[in-house]
Amino acid sequence: MRRFRRVNQVKFLRFTLFWSVLLLPAIAQARPEYALKIGQNRCTQCHYSPAGGGPKNMNGKYYGAGEFKLSAFSKQEYAGADIKGLYYIPERHTSGRGGMGIMAANIYASLPLVPLSSESAEVRLVAEHNLGGFNSGPRHMYVRWMIRDDSAPGWLPQYVVLGRFIPPFGLMFDEHRPYVRIQTNTSWNTGFETGAMLSGNLGDRFHYDLSGVNGQKNQGQLANNQATLWGALANVRFMARSWPVMIGASGSYHEEELNKQPPSAGSVYAMWSLHRSTGNRVPLTLMAEFARAKNWNGSFVQSFVTDSTGYGAQVTNSESQGVLFQANWDLSARLQLVYRYDRLELNRDFPSDAYERHGLGAKYVFGPLMWALVRVESAEAGHPTEAKGTKVGAVGAAWAVLSIGI
């Protein structure tokens, strides 16, 4: 049976790769490797949020269009949409959800309320809503003050953001599967906070984001027992001037919820673009991240751990430790191969219980703001109850994502 499932996964990968190269579309999401590749340390080069991610400005749309021309509707900054479909085949077919579904159907609007001038700061309203899919409901919804042009260096912040947003933490991905994002509760669909954020640039190479938030990742609405729950998040990154390397660090702390311990997390990360260091002769980007977190395990053990009442209860308040390594190889301007290694120790005092996952896939851009991604992953876990687990942590999968944006 196991061999039969692996054969099915291989057939699925061959089938999807074949049709993705012929037919499928693509859109570039919030990815730090793109910033490193073009030598740009400001997220506002492509996004409205100074922390990156979410709705794109016109520069971001043109970059995401690649070699294709934008549609007439896309050539405006006031509105847009981003729709992602998923086809998911878990290794153990009867143990988890699988099949076709909608990851997200995001629509957004960006309205400049007050233009930037010598007499006033720019005020912009950005609103994004997920009509269906994973964690449907309000996503980014904030007012952004651009106090001064973000090309002007200095310690004082260039941007103030107030509302609901994703504070940057570690390496940002437009998916929710990396262990380090699950571990620190900072994935694309769970990382939202409500509060205020300051962002600034000290020259072209150093960037910082400082956030003060209320509640613990609520849905942008009032929630029970969260009025006095405050948190702080910080992210700093440095991009070398003469060498195509970016390094960064992130940290977060939230006050304790009723009858729970205060969650905290930290991350250090680095990227190296061989594109720029070899004059595009080696079109490879390497990324790595190391993260630790405490008291966040309880937020995901039900969906991640098979024995959630036994082993899961034991590690709820443990200090976890995770590692991610990813290599992206650009075969062409449209086709990219991706390899990823994930490792997560839910209790870092017991490294033999770690979850490990290897993934290999390809991403293909076939139209303006359109892309397809396919990947096959193998996973295993060291703890006896998880070694043949049925939940996300230790189950391999084959999956494909189709994304279309306007």
318-330 pLDDT, tens digit each: 999 999 999 999 9
How much is the pLDDT for 16? 42
- Residue range of the domain that includes 367: 2-405
CA distance 197 to 136: 24
State the distance between the two ends of the chain, measured CA to CA, in whole angstroms.
Answer: 43
Rounded to the nearest 5°, which phi and psi values hold at 390? -115, 0
Side-chain-side CA neighbours of 168 within 13 Å: the count stands at 30
Provide the domain count of the chain.
1
The CA angle 171-175-180, to the nearest 5 degrees, is 45
pLDDT given for residue 97 in this prediction: 76
The whole-number pLDDT of residue 205 equals 86
Specify whether the backbone of 269 is left (phi greater than 0), alpha (psi in -120 to 50) or beta: beta
Residues near 397 by beta carbon (within 8 Å), at least 6 away in sequence:
88, 89, 90, 91, 98, 376, 377, 379
* CA–CA dist 173, 181 (Å, integer): 9
CB 187 within 8 A of CB 214: no
What pLDDT is stored for residue 15 in this prediction? 42
Average pLDDT over residues 96-111: 90
Q: Which long-range contacts (CB under 8 A, 24 or more apart) does 361-364 make?
A: 361/337, 362/17, 362/20, 362/335, 362/336, 362/337, 362/338, 363/26, 363/335, 363/336, 363/338, 364/20, 364/21, 364/24, 364/26, 364/334, 364/335, 364/336
**Residue 137 φ/ψ region, left for φ over 0, alpha for ψ in the -120 to 50 degree band, beta for the rest:** left
pLDDT of residue 23: 34
53 contact partners, CB below 8 Å, separation of at least 6: 29, 30, 43, 47, 140, 166, 168, 172, 174, 188
Structure tokens at 402: 């189709």
- Which burial class, exposed, middle or buried, applies to 19 when counting CB atoms under 10 A from its CB (0-12, 13-18, 19+)? middle
pLDDT at 10 over 60: no
Read off the CATH number of the domain in which 327 is found: 2.40.160.10
pLDDT at 33: 65
pLDDT bracket for residue 222 (50, 70, 90)? confident
pLDDT band for position 149 (50/70/90)? confident
Q: Which residue has the higher pLDDT, 160 or 35?
A: 160
pLDDT, tens digit, for every residue of 363-384?
999 999 999 999 999 999 999 9
pLDDT for res 38: 63
Low-confidence winner among 136-140, 208-212, 264-268, 355-359 (lowest mean pLDDT)? 136-140
123 or 43: whose pLDDT is higher?
123
Is residue 25 very low, low, confident or very high in pLDDT (cuts 50, 70, 90)?
Answer: very low
State the pLDDT at residue 67: 80
3-class secondary-structure state, position 210: strand
Is there a contact between 268 and 185 (Cβ–Cβ < 8 Å)? no
Distance CA 302, CA 318 (A): 15
Residue 143 pLDDT > 60, yes or no? yes
Q: Say what the pLDDT of residue 333 is.
A: 83
Least confidently predicted of 102-111, 118-127, 319-328: 118-127
Query: Residue 310 contacts by C-beta under 8 Å, 6 or more apart in sequence?
Result: 385
Mean pLDDT, the chain, rounded, equals 86
pLDDT of residue 19: 37
User: Residue 4 above 70 pLDDT?
Assistant: no
| pLDDT, tens only, 266-315 | 999 999 999 888 888 899 999 999 999 999 998 899 889 988 889 999 99
